[in-house]
Amino acid sequence: MGSQQEKISFRRVGVVARHHTETILDSVLNVEAVLQEARIDVVVDADTAAVLPNGVHSVVDKSALESLDLVVVVGGDGSLLGYGRDLAASGVPVVGVNRGGLGFLAAVSPEQIDGSFAQILRGDFAIEEHFLLQASVNREGQVIAKQSALNDVVVNPGSPARMMEFALWVDDEYVYDQRSDGLIIASPTGSTAYALSAGGPIMHPGLDAIVIVPMFPHTLTSRPLVVPGEKVLRLRLLDVSDAEPQMSCDSQVHVELQIGDEIVIEKHAAPLRLLYPPGHSFYQSCRSKLDWGSRLGGQRS
């Protein structure tokens, strides 16, 4: 991933939202108004159009979003993850308007729609390319599932208080057998999500690396492992006691697993291109969203 500026002309822009709360719809209408003022054609998908009042916009299938100049996702990071997985292969740039929680990916706040978002439309922005992971499930020599993930791929027993046993290889080099509650394989983008809560490192989104984070391993010496981004990871499920194991991509797409399945995880060929307002800083996001810089015991007297 690299930050850069690039000349892009926005003629047709899509505005989408996975969830349709009142606050989200208010921001959708605000974004639409800014686009119309800039004389830009507005497109929405059918799900979003169904809950909007009649406006000056066209309704298209989700597949048609890939041919637009820009897609604006209104919601939390979860919404951006969902649309991001679908749009990455097309190369269409995406900007997120945050109506969720942390908003690491959706960097435009509702009060910035008239300012920072309008700046983006005028060509004042930075582009960050966030690579995705691709996970394939192999069963008895056949690929039974293939999914992508922007944040992480998680393999777990599917039931609380259950352990699983698996073997791990990196580029066909054996790493270890492990008994644990599962394993998180995260991109740098996902290092501030589930992997962080499991004790993984914070990775700058510009790193070309993948982090492997064990979930409550049955050993005192198993630690998170960071490997180069071009490595291919292979996980073989050896045993799961009285549970229904599964693979989860971004906590949104789930695949049921069986003993003996192999999960192959590698970097996806196409990155997601995210647009950010000028002055966007990963470190400032960490300060504001992860409470960096707070003093223990409160303010200095």
Matching residue, tokens 């981004």: 229
Angle formed at CA 69 by CA 68 and CA 74, multiple of 5 degrees: 80
Domains defined along the chain, listed by start: 12-130+271-289 (3.40.50.10330), 133-267 (2.60.200.30)
**61 has catalytic annotation:** no
How do the residues of the chain divide into helix, strand and coil, expressed in percent and rounded to 5? Answer: 25, 35, 40
Q: How many other C-beta atoms are found inside a 10 Å radius of the C-beta of residue 247?
A: 27
* pLDDT tens-place values along the chain, 301 residues long: 444 556 678 999 999 999 889 999 999 999 999 999 999 999 999 989 988 887 767 999 989 999 999 999 999 999 999 999 999 999 999 999 998 777 788 889 999 999 999 999 999 999 999 999 999 999 999 999 999 999 999 999 988 778 999 999 999 999 999 999 999 999 999 999 999 999 999 999 999 999 999 999 988 889 999 999 999 999 999 999 778 999 999 999 999 999 999 999 999 999 999 999 988 899 988 888 888 877 666 655 4
pLDDT of amino acid 227: 98
Q: What is the DSSP string of 22-57?
A: HHHHHHHHHHHHHHHHTT-EEEEEHHHHTTSPS-SE
Distance CA 74, CA 24 (A): 7
pTM of the model: 0.91
Q: What is the pLDDT of residue 296?
A: 63
> Three-class SS of residue 210?
strand
The radius of gyration of the chain's CA atoms, rounded to the nearest angstrom, is: 21
Given this model, what pLDDT does residue 299 score?
58
Q: How many CB atoms lie within 10 A of CB 262?
A: 19
Who contacts 144 (Cβ-Cβ below 8 Å, separation ≥6)?
A: 137, 138, 255
Positive or negative, the Cα torsion across 213, 218, 223, 227? negative
pLDDT of residue 301: 46
User: One of 45, 77, 152, 261 is an active-site residue; which one?
Assistant: 77
CA 218/CA 147 separation, integer angstroms: 29
Q: What is d(CA 122, CA 85) in angstroms, rounded to the nearest whole number?
A: 26
d(CA 186, CA 153): 6
CA angle 132, 136, 235 (to 5 degrees): 100
221-233: b (≥16 Cβ within 10 Å) or e:
ebebbbbeeebeb
Q: Are 126 and 280 in contact (CB under 8 A)?
A: yes
What was the pLDDT predicted at 219?
86
